[in-house]
Amino acid sequence: MRPDIRQVAAEAGVSTATVSRVLTGRGPASAEATRRVTAAAVRLGYSPSASASSLRTDRSMIIGVLVPNLANPVVLPFLRGVEHVAQLHGYAVIVADAQRSPEIERRQLDRLSAQRIDALVVAGQPRDPDHVRRLAESGLPVADAEHFTAQATAMATSLIAVVDQVCDHLARFGHRHLAYLAQGRVAQGISGARWTLIESAAAARGITAQRILVGAPADPDRPDGPGMASLLDGLVRSPDGPTVLWSASHALAPHLLEGLAIADIAIPGECSFLTFGDSPWAPAYRPAISVVTNDLGAVGRAMTEDLLHRLGLLESVSTVSFDTDRYVARASVGPVASS
Amino acid sequence: MRPDIRQVAAEAGVSTATVSRVLTGRGPASAEATRRVTAAAVRLGYSPSASASSLRTDRSMIIGVLVPNLANPVVLPFLRGVEHVAQLHGYAVIVADAQRSPEIERRQLDRLSAQRIDALVVAGQPRDPDHVRRLAESGLPVADAEHFTAQATAMATSLIAVVDQVCDHLARFGHRHLAYLAQGRVAQGISGARWTLIESAAAARGITAQRILVGAPADPDRPDGPGMASLLDGLVRSPDGPTVLWSASHALAPHLLEGLAIADIAIPGECSFLTFGDSPWAPAYRPAISVVTNDLGAVGRAMTEDLLHRLGLLESVSTVSFDTDRYVARASVGPVASS
DNA sequence: TTGTAGGCGTTATCAA
DNA sequence: TTGATAACGCCTACAA
């Protein structure tokens, strides 16, 4: 049914070796041979079997992406970035969703391993970091988003500048107390780095910053509105409570906003609000929400380029800077209420 | 370096055939052989090569998913559903992002074809439907989301019930004119079916319904707020204009809301609002947005089960009904203003 | 129940 | 520059 390399060879009147050389571009081939082979391949609708080629060359041309939780929309731009670069270099992307479970994560990593992926992208904190480490030690090129962003200095300096900018803005509006709200587990990598930056930038401007970990709702689809409301009410309305709430992630933001709405806390009248991560909902909200955009697509692209570089497929990693963080001030950040 | 089936055979003191039979579960194997082989496999950290096995069996154990535009967040639950079911049956999922371009789509389909995917899921309207059709005709099991949802009768009846429910609600509040706002191109499948349903359900209650196609912003990340505002202003404030705006997709909703905010149209005072598709932003909005949830994860799961069924891997397709559409009434739908 | 052996479709080596 | 050929790692008749 499906044509194979031998049929192409027969059709072109050459040997299979020549067909292979022409189509892969590896090895010499005369202009005439090239012409006839490509013509025959097109005529027959030939498409070489990736399995056979992988088996022979020991290269699967597949990049695996381990996603801790595919329900989280922030992975989307990231995935897109990985896909984009991978595709440019003939690579396919296999997505492995760990569904927030260590066992599923292990199964998924095993599957990726069986596919003999050429490289692995870890798109967040894995549930079982040891397993990932073991893969890396066994020679698989691994790019970990947490480590990567913390190490990419261009990105870090961009973030520093933006955090400074935000704190300036807040100080100018008279804010003295800031609360940084993050979800559940304390992240080591990027999230931890952000907090350190915020804390020191705030301190430099006489703003006290506190970090508050709000328990991730058991079911992220049905957040605990009232619970969030009472938490925020107690926080904001306590003496010397924060006058600014800064959400660590875009996914967390709507839950916080819902809590604020229930507790009837006015934005920015009673409390200013901003968040990491942008989406069409931020400007659409009333009031429009200030954001610090973080271009995760760029991170995905850079990580994938780094991997391809390590695989020897890319001469130089694109030096396009990571200067993609930006502070977009909107109505949700305003002057502190004169009480 | 990496252990091979022969090494496992040697370690277990059996032949490679026995190893294969034990590990794949196909063919007979004594309890003793099974024990020793599995032990040896674990001891050596053996993981069979998917390429070799694909080559031999002519089954890649890979399902391809063609996503017209991976930037669109609605694919996320869908992808997750596909991934979930695929994984349960040992299948890997390759994501192909067409990036809204016909050429890229073709390249991606060619790549999937080279990978010898066992089945293809099409997660939206492909840019080049002919190419997809050709693949289907060549014997590849293909599941198309548009066709699928239109044909899945359980899903359709669920949708009918929900649309009736919404229209009842609107009629009770005194609404007589409804505008259904959809993006750009008119979809043939699910989106078209929805509109037909809405139109007739509305008519049955004395509500006139009109469909308005709002041009998709060129760059979906920077929507045209003012343009949207003037469009909606002209629409809502015209004599006999609609008193209800119904957004066809969750992605469109924030752009509409931004337009309403700019035009200073009060919700629900001046105009009620609801949308297909839920997310944490809907209840967090002020006022909270009414939604018709559509569980795309369930669609992804069902489609994948259907494919596995066609591949002979699944005895019966899960008959869990599609009764997942639901109308969640929130504050954004209220009585029509008494003018 | 087990082992032997051949071949899946490609690519790399080597001799011509 | 080309062609014959031997693997790559696995699965599965078939024979024992």
- Domains plus CATH for chain B? 1-54 (1.10.260.40), 151-295 (3.40.50.2300)
**Residue A325 confidence (pLDDT):** 84
Is the confidence at residue B188, as pLDDT, over 90? no
Percent of chain A with pLDDT over 90: 75
Q: Which residues touch strand D (CB under 7 A)?
A: A 14-18, 21, 27-30, 32-33, 52, 55-56, 58; B 2, 4-6, 16-17, 20-21, 23-24, 26-27, 46, 48-49, 52-53, 55-57
Q: Which of B60, B97, B115 sits opposite A83 (nearest CB)?
A: B97
Q: Which two tokens stand for residue A99?
A: 């569904």
B30 touches strand C (CB under 7 A): yes
A17 CA from D4 C1′ (Å): 9
Chain D bases under 7 Å from protein CB?
Answer: 1-5, 7-13
**Residue B189 confidence (pLDDT):** 58
> Which residue gives the smallest C-alpha to C1' distance to D12?
B17
B51: nt with nearest C1' to CA: D9
* Confidence bin at B320 (pLDDT 50/70/90): low
Question: Average pLDDT of chain A?
Answer: 90
Edge-to-edge strand list for the sheet holding A244-247: A208-214, A177-183, A244-247, A272-276, A290-293, A326-328
Mutating which of A100, A273, A281 best tests the B interface, going by the most B Cβ atoms within 10 A? A281
The overall longest dimension of chain A from CA atoms, in Å, is 89
Is the confidence at residue B109, as pLDDT, over 80? yes
Quick one: average pLDDT of B17-39?
95
Quick one: average pLDDT of B263-276?
96
* Confidence bin at A222 (pLDDT 50/70/90): low
**Residue B215 confidence (pLDDT):** 73
- B77-86, B108-117, B218-227, B324-333: the lowest-pLDDT one: B218-227
Out of A61-75, A167-181, B222-236, B298-312, the most confident range is A167-181
Cβ pair B60:A51 closer than 8 A: yes
CB pairs under 8 A between A and B: 151
Quick one: average pLDDT of B311-334?
80
Quick one: average pLDDT of A56-81?
93
**Residue A214 confidence (pLDDT):** 86
Contact (Cβ atoms closer than 8 angstroms) between residue B93 and residue A67:
no
Contact (Cβ atoms closer than 8 angstroms) between residue B72 and residue B78:
no
How far is it, in rounded angstroms, from Cα A165 to Cα B219? 27
Chain B partners of A107 at a C-beta cutoff of 8 Å? 87
A337 vs A50, residue with greater confidence: A50
Q: Mind telling me how many Å the CA of A70 is from chain B's nearest CA? A: 6
Estimate the crossing angle of helix B5-12 against helix B16-24, to 10 degrees: 100
**Residue B158 confidence (pLDDT):** 82
B17 touches strand C (CB under 7 A): yes
B155 vs A87, residue with greater confidence: A87
**A-chain residue closest to B116, CA distance:** A49
A21 CA from C12 C1′ (Å): 10
Per residue in A264-298, pLDDT (tens digit) is 999 999 999 999 999 999 999 999 999 999 888 98
Chain C bases under 7 Å from protein CB?
Answer: 1-5, 7-13
Query: Is beta strand A119-122 parallel, antiparallel or unpaired with respect to A62-67?
Result: parallel
How far is it, in rounded angstroms, from Cα A120 to Cα A139? 11
Is the confidence at residue B204, as pLDDT, over 80? yes
Per residue in B282-302, pLDDT (tens digit) is 999 999 999 999 888 988 999
Those residues with Cβ within 8 angstroms of residue B191's Cβ, 6 or more apart along the chain or in another chain: B182, B248
- A201-210, B24-33, B117-126, B185-194: the lowest-pLDDT one: B185-194
Per residue in A113-141, pLDDT (tens digit) is 999 999 999 998 899 999 999 999 999 99
Contact (Cβ atoms closer than 8 angstroms) between residue A246 and residue A181:
yes
Is the confidence at residue B7, as pLDDT, over 70? yes
**Residue B275 confidence (pLDDT):** 97
Is the confidence at residue B66, as pLDDT, over 90? yes
How far is it, in rounded angstroms, from Cα A176 to Cα B145? 52
Q: Mind telling me how many Å the CA of A205 is from chain B's nearest CA? A: 32
* Confidence bin at B81 (pLDDT 50/70/90): very high
Amino acid at B198: I
Contact (Cβ atoms closer than 8 angstroms) between residue B253 and residue B284:
no
**Residue B217 confidence (pLDDT):** 58
Per residue in A249-264, pLDDT (tens digit) is 898 999 999 999 999 9
Q: Which two tokens stand for residue B159?
A: 């949708």
Estimate the crossing angle of helix A129-137 against helix A102-114, to 10 degrees: 20
* Confidence bin at B37 (pLDDT 50/70/90): very high
Quick one: average pLDDT of A211-225?
69
Question: Average pLDDT of chain B?
Answer: 90
